[in-house]
Structure 1
Amino acid sequence: MSDVRVIIQRDSEREERVVTTGTTAADLFPGERTVVAARVAGELKDLSYQVADGETVEPVEISSEDGLNILRHSTAHVMAQAVQELFPEAKLGIGPPVRDGFYYDFDVDRPFTPEDLKAVEKKMQEIQKRGQHFSRRVVTDEAAREELADEPYKLELIGLKGSASSEDGADVEVGGGELTIYDNLDAKTGELCWKDLCRGPHLPTTRTIPAFKLMRNASAYWRGSEKNKQLQRIYGTAWPSKDELKAHLDFLAEAEKRDHRKLGAELDLFSIPEQIGSGLAVFHPKGGIIRRVMEDYSRRRHEEEGYEFVYTPHATKGKLFETSGHLDWYADGMYPPMQLDEGVDYYLKPMNCPMHNLVFDARGRSYRELPLRLFEFGTVYRYEKSGVVHGLTRARGFTQDDAHIYCTKEQMAEELDRTLTFVLNLLRDYGLNDFYLELSTKDPEKFVGSDEVWEEATETLRAVAEKQGLELVADPGGAAFYGPKISVQAKDAIGRTWQMSTVQLDFNLPERFGLEYTAADGSKQQPVMIHRALFGSIERFFAVLLEHYAGAMPPWLAPVQAVGIPVGDAHVEYLREFAAEAKRKGLRVEVDASSDRMQKKIRNQQKQKVPFMIIVGDDDMSGGTVSFRYRDGSQENGIPRDQALEKLVDVVERRVQV
């Protein structure tokens, strides 16, 4: 055996080691049970990989992003083996890792039942305990077709090798280059237990899968196309420890309780009637109050910041979107055209910016008018596939709080800084405080304008983002076709990240629309355009806040800020007088004069998550006081009426949570 020199790389530390030929990646990390794979020359490898002279090898920990993907992909293979042991007729689709879990698609005679999933999970536990080895081998296309002759979907993937994209899922299993099959081998005899077409890598054995659980099943079209057969998909999750699995399941349970669709029905805020259509919501009176208060506060803050309000129609001739470039780059996200005039196509607008450009261009503009900040609550329409529509967070019709700012190049950096600061402060006013920023840069396959313009716009945005002192994360290729953007990513009360506001810098649409202003020297100059949506959409922001607060909106946003609870019928009129006085001060106060007992009234209002209950009995009536009951069940008695009203007004005006 000859010596082999390798470099062990751990973060910034490098260690040169001399080993013998045939040494595997596993041999380099003996006893390190959390190491599940290796990165060699930048590529992920199984621990069984034999290192070569001069290679740099990095350990891959199971808790890292790559390690979690390997764990979950390996668990997906165990699930597929379990399915085929229980349902031998099942044909295999694909089984990739996804965020927080994995799935596998199967062609079976009937949909899986909850009892089926329990049986599959039990069988997976048996396979896990067997300690089967994941063994990689390279095969030719011909050999793979022969071995997998009974798997039609795998045969299709083999035919796509080297040309498939991640959108159809094929390269999840195959990819370009060499073709590989992973065998699951019996730990004692080495006999083949199961196999799958896969590029890997995988964990060393099934026993190294620490914790998993199957979650649900659903239908999914093969390779995501509605033209293909519908398969049965099973979702699962896997984690490096049982404690982490439990924490994840607890998190999911809490998220389910906070689901805005569930809360929207329970609190009578909104609905998405089947008669109207998926992704098209109607707001009920209580939801309408929340939305109106959200919008009114936003309007006031925008007015204070120097924005001017505009209004534009819901539909336009297609020529406008030809000029903007949306028909070239965004047609898939637009509804089909309508022919309202002979030979003229009209479109529902998917965004407001082209119309705002027409407002700017309606008359001559002087440098003295800049920055010109145009703002609109503009309803737009996006043709979302039914599979991605999700309540208010992914809708087909929604209202953007859309602004477009036109300024000179000299004003650009200051205006961007002012805009981003305004955006973050307004989000904080609504109760979101934990942010990071994302910088989306040019998609090399989907952009208009010169590289030089993109470079200048990107670096300007980068400098503005860094000035906020927040974490800045790169999003390569994530920009719109006309310019780079900063996205504000906000974490909610249970740690989920939501993309909120976007700020986009655009040198290209002003050029495409021929926008000009008269400079101080009398010359005609092209303005810089800043696109800015603060909420993103009102509907989506409504949903985020509803889940963030678990339906218990802060008093200033609550549809009903206080409910009067009389101890008996004799106290109703006193409370009605209190409520009338509160309404004159702009408060939203109601009185529960129903025939229910007091305790039931309290339970009803707790379920409706009302911030305050104003309870009145004989002592309060005789003393001119009321008693406050808070959301947490605590109570404050004997508060003089005028002080109680002042307290309610103060809490609402300060926009605090109770």
Structure 2
Amino acid sequence: MSEVRVVIRRDSEWEQRVVTTGTTAAALFEGERSVIAARVGGTLRDLAHPLAEGDEVEPVAIDSPDGLDILRHSTAHVLAQAVQDLFPDARLGIGPPIRDGFYYDFDVEQPFQPEDLGRIEKRMQQIVKQGQRFSRRAVSDEQARAELAEEPYKLELIGLKGSAAQEAEGAAAEVGEGELTIYDNLDAATGELCWKDLCRGPHLPSTRLVPAFKLMRSAAAYWRGSEKNPQLQRIYGTAWPTRDELKAHLAFLAEAERRDHRRLGTELDLFSIPEELGSGLAVFHPKGGVVRRVMEDYSRQRHEDEGYEFVNTPHISKARLFETSGHLPNYAESMFPPMEFEGQDYYLKAMNCPMHNLIFRARGRSYRELPLRLFEFGTVYRYEKSGVVHGLTRARGFTQDDSHIYCTREQMAGELDSLLTFVLGLLRDYGLSDFYLELSTRDDSGKFIGEHEEWEEATEALRQAAQKQGLELVLDPGGAAYYGPKISVQARDAIGRSWQMSTIQVDFQQPKRFALEYTAADGSRQQPVMIHRALFGSIERFFAVLLEHYAGAFPPWLAPVQAVGIPIGDAHVPYLRQFAAEAKELRLRVEVDASSDRMQKKIRNAQRSKVPFMVIAGDEDIANDAVSFRYRDGTQKNGIPRSEALREIADAVARRVQV
């Protein structure tokens, strides 16, 4: 019997092994229950994959990132099999793994109902218990078309094999660039075919290795993400290596639902997105307007301290401006269609940078003016597909706290260093503290403009600025803007979710396209470096992130109502109104609940509104020129002198602390 030599790699350790010809990865890792696949020569393979001479083999554990993807993709296949068992006329779309779960798209006559998901999940559990084997086999294009003749969407994917369109539309899990493969689900006892699907794999060895899953919801989704294509029904699910991890994830989702900014926006009367305006277009109510104004005012103050100058630009522009900037050739799909006016096309502003370039170019500039830091709360409009619009976090109209800094090449490194320090400091002032940085660079695709040398210089400057912050730096190859690399500040909120906050981009291209110049010390004309920076990203999105981070319980300095006066009886209302008037002189936001509700209901109303301070007054308080405090956590402090109570509220606001 012949033998082959293979190398097993575990972390940084290597082990050489001699095995008989035909040995599979499963035999190599026999007894290691957590191993559900292998990486052979850098490619993910099923455990049934036979090993060849010189193969480098790495085990893939079910709880690793690759292992989780395989688990979830396998569970998506179980879902599709269950759906076709219960709905034989259902036609299959695609079913990839996604973050924390999976989905599968189906063409069915009627949308799925909640009770359907219950039936499907029960059938999935039966399939899991049967322990059906996932078995891979290679097929020709013709064979695949013959076997899947009744699956029109699979036939379309076969036609896309290896194309850029196939990759772009998320169908890479179905077909790759090489041979086509079909995965058969085989009965564990008889080997008979139970179900099959076009798939690149790999998969778990058996459905019995799906430890814990749950179907979450169904939704409509256009085939391959295009509104021109048929609308399918998508079922979302989640799958985890253990039941405890599934339970923890469901608890996390429940907490995330409790913090959902769309629900809190309605409950706390902060904002709404009226149907009459359109999807992705929000209006802020008075209380939300207070929070937004305070956010903006503090940001303005800090920017003034850092030497920024405020500008304003219009909401529309002639098309030529965005042609010059390069946005129309490179960004048109994210812009609203043009409006024809006086024989010319006008576009809603999708970004502020081209207009800031016009401000820089409006007159001659000297090196003595640099760095020139322009800042604007500029409202922009972007065409987001209806499927991705999500409350305030993915909107079609929003206001960026946008800055563009023009500096010399010699100033660039220092400017990036101080800019990133300023950005992180300001985010910390709003209550975020857990950050990492992401450096997005160009790749070899054709979507980027400019010379490689310029990109290398800009990328290295960003890298050095990032490293000085002492934070984790994650690389994002190919994620740069078309005109330059960027650093994104990623912030984790109170429950550990990551949000992209500020972005900083170095741009050598737009100054060139707009012919921006300054007079250098030697009298020569030089091109400035342009640094793009959005600190919040957008006011709306940052508002939503903070709303979810605090679960609606803003710290006093951001709270729309900082304290509410609650009288024990009607006779105590005038005293509390006097307290509120004194608070207003200190620029505090204090209201008095003079409604006919009982005191306990007023307290409950204030708790539901998440007001930081409840100021209670009765006969004894009035006699002692005092009040009693009830805090958001239910604790109470009685007999506080009125002046001291005002100082406590004012101090909490000034220190920007949570109470």
Which residue number corresponds to residue 455 of structure 1? 456
What is the alpha-carbon distance in structure 2 between the residues aligned to residue 144 and residue 352 of structure 1? 50
What is the alpha-carbon distance in structure 1 between the residues aligned to residue 464 and residue 116 of structure 2? 55
Q: What SS does the aligned partner of 1:329 have?
A: helix
The Cα offsets for residues 278-334 of structure 1, whole Å up to 9 and x where unpaired, read as 111000000000000000000000000000000111111111111101111011111
Which residue number corresponds to residue 265 of structure 1? 266
Q: Which amino acid aligns with 2:454?
A: V
The answer to whether the 8 A contact 1:160-1:170 is kept is no
The Cα offsets for residues 200-254 of structure 1, whole Å up to 9 and x where unpaired, read as 0000000000000000011111122222211111111100100100111101111
The answer to whether the 8 A contact 1:392-1:540 is kept is yes
What is the alpha-carbon distance in structure 1 between the residues aligned to residue 647 and residue 248 of structure 2? 43
What is the alpha-carbon distance in structure 2 between the residues aligned to residue 269 and residue 170 of structure 1? 40
Q: What SS does the aligned partner of 1:150 have?
A: coil
The Cα offsets for residues 73-93 of structure 1, whole Å up to 9 and x where unpaired, read as 000001111111111111111
What is the alpha-carbon distance in structure 2 between the residues aligned to residue 548 and residue 531 of structure 1? 27
What is the alpha-carbon distance in structure 2 between the residues aligned to residue 272 and residue 38 of structure 1? 48
What is the alpha-carbon distance in structure 2 between the residues aligned to residue 523 and residue 508 of structure 1? 20
Using the TM superposition, give the Cα deviation of residue 167 of structure 1 relative to its aligned residue in structure 2, in angstroms: 2.4
What is the alpha-carbon distance in structure 2 between the residues aligned to residue 109 and residue 518 of structure 1? 68
The Cα offsets for residues 88-136 of structure 1, whole Å up to 9 and x where unpaired, read as 1111111111111111111111111111110000000000000011000
Which residue number corresponds to residue 128 of structure 2? 128
1:9 paired to 2:9:
yes
Q: What SS does the aligned partner of 1:498 have?
A: strand
1:155 paired to 2:178:
no
What is the alpha-carbon distance in structure 1 between the residues aligned to residue 247 and residue 7 of structure 2? 38
Q: Which amino acid aligns with 1:41?
A: G
1:304 paired to 2:305:
yes
Using the TM superposition, give the Cα deviation of residue 16 of structure 1 relative to its aligned residue in structure 2, in angstroms: 0.3
Higher mean C-alpha deviation, range 520-529 or range 421-430: 520-529
What is the alpha-carbon distance in structure 1 between the residues aligned to residue 4 and residue 258 of structure 2? 57
Which residue number corresponds to residue 276 of structure 1? 277
What is the alpha-carbon distance in structure 2 between the residues aligned to residue 543 and residue 162 of structure 1? 40
What is the alpha-carbon distance in structure 1 between the residues aligned to residue 631 and residue 333 of structure 2? 50
Which residue number corresponds to residue 243 of structure 1? 244
Q: Which amino acid aligns with 2:272?
A: S
Which residue number corresponds to residue 398 of structure 2? 398
Which residue number corresponds to residue 376 of structure 2? 376
The answer to whether the 8 A contact 2:157-2:166 is kept is no
What is the alpha-carbon distance in structure 2 between the residues aligned to residue 249 and residue 217 of structure 1? 17
Q: Which amino acid aligns with 2:529?
A: V
Q: Unpaired runs of 5+ in structure 1?
A: none
What is the alpha-carbon distance in structure 2 between the residues aligned to residue 99 and residue 252 of structure 1? 13
Q: Which amino acid aligns with 1:427?
A: L
The answer to whether the 8 A contact 1:36-1:61 is kept is yes
Which residue number corresponds to residue 290 of structure 1? 291
Q: How does 1:520-599 map to 2 (within 5 A)?
A: 520-599=521-600
Which residue number corresponds to residue 62 of structure 1? 62
What is the alpha-carbon distance in structure 2 between the residues aligned to residue 109 and residue 358 of structure 1? 54
Which residue number corresponds to residue 223 of structure 2? 222
The answer to whether the 8 A contact 2:628-2:638 is kept is yes
Q: What SS does the aligned partner of 1:95 have?
A: coil
Q: Which amino acid aligns with 1:615?
A: I
Q: Which amino acid aligns with 2:293?
A: R
Which residue number corresponds to residue 479 of structure 2? 478
What is the alpha-carbon distance in structure 2 between the residues aligned to residue 146 and residue 366 of structure 1? 71
What is the alpha-carbon distance in structure 2 between the residues aligned to residue 218 and residue 258 of structure 1? 22
Which residue number corresponds to residue 178 of structure 1? 179
Using the TM superposition, give the Cα deviation of residue 170 of structure 1 relative to its aligned residue in structure 2, in angstroms: 3.0
Q: What SS does the aligned partner of 2:422 have?
A: helix
Using the TM superposition, give the Cα deviation of residue 172 of structure 1 relative to its aligned residue in structure 2, in angstroms: 2.2
Using the TM superposition, give the Cα deviation of residue 555 of structure 1 relative to its aligned residue in structure 2, in angstroms: 0.2
The Cα offsets for residues 369-426 of structure 1, whole Å up to 9 and x where unpaired, read as 1110000000011011111111100111100000000111111000000000000000
Runs of 4+ in structure 1 over 3 Å off: none
Q: What SS does the aligned partner of 2:191 have?
A: coil
What is the alpha-carbon distance in structure 2 between the residues aligned to residue 154 and residue 478 of structure 1? 30
What is the alpha-carbon distance in structure 1 between the residues aligned to residue 430 and residue 342 of structure 2? 45
Q: How does 1:304-453 map to 2 (within 5 A)?
A: 304-342=305-343, 344-443=344-443, 444-453=445-454
The answer to whether the 8 A contact 1:260-1:547 is kept is yes
The answer to whether the 8 A contact 2:505-2:533 is kept is yes
What is the alpha-carbon distance in structure 2 between the residues aligned to residue 156 and residue 507 of structure 1? 42
Q: What SS does the aligned partner of 2:172 have?
A: helix
What is the alpha-carbon distance in structure 2 between the residues aligned to residue 399 and residue 227 of structure 1? 30
Using the TM superposition, give the Cα deviation of residue 161 of structure 1 relative to its aligned residue in structure 2, in angstroms: 1.6
The Cα offsets for residues 436-456 of structure 1, whole Å up to 9 and x where unpaired, read as 000000143211110110011
Q: What SS does the aligned partner of 2:594 have?
A: coil
1:617 paired to 2:618:
yes
Q: What SS does the aligned partner of 1:457 have?
A: helix
1:116 paired to 2:116:
yes
Q: What SS does the aligned partner of 2:437 have?
A: strand
Using the TM superposition, give the Cα deviation of residue 276 of structure 1 relative to its aligned residue in structure 2, in angstroms: 0.7
Q: How does 1:24-63 map to 2 (within 5 A)?
A: 24-63=24-63
Q: Which amino acid aligns with 2:493?
A: D
TM value normalised by structure 1: 0.99
The answer to whether the 8 A contact 2:219-2:233 is kept is yes
Q: Unpaired runs of 5+ in structure 2?
A: none
The Cα offsets for residues 441-482 of structure 1, whole Å up to 9 and x where unpaired, read as 014321111011001100111011011000000011111111
Q: How many residues align?
A: 657
What is the alpha-carbon distance in structure 2 between the residues aligned to residue 292 and residue 416 of structure 1? 28
Which residue number corresponds to residue 626 of structure 1? 627
What is the alpha-carbon distance in structure 2 between the residues aligned to residue 135 and residue 442 of structure 1? 39
TM value normalised by structure 2: 0.99
Identity among equivalent positions (%) equals 78
What is the alpha-carbon distance in structure 1 between the residues aligned to residue 420 and residue 363 of structure 2? 29
Q: What SS does the aligned partner of 1:171 have?
A: coil
The answer to whether the 8 A contact 2:173-2:201 is kept is no
The Cα offsets for residues 134-186 of structure 1, whole Å up to 9 and x where unpaired, read as 00011111221221122122122222222242222333201111111111111
Higher mean C-alpha deviation, range 159-168 or range 270-279: 159-168
Q: What SS does the aligned partner of 1:66 have?
A: helix
What is the alpha-carbon distance in structure 1 between the residues aligned to residue 172 and residue 561 of structure 2? 53
The answer to whether the 8 A contact 1:340-1:346 is kept is yes
Which residue number corresponds to residue 189 of structure 2? 188
Q: Which amino acid aligns with 1:324?
A: S
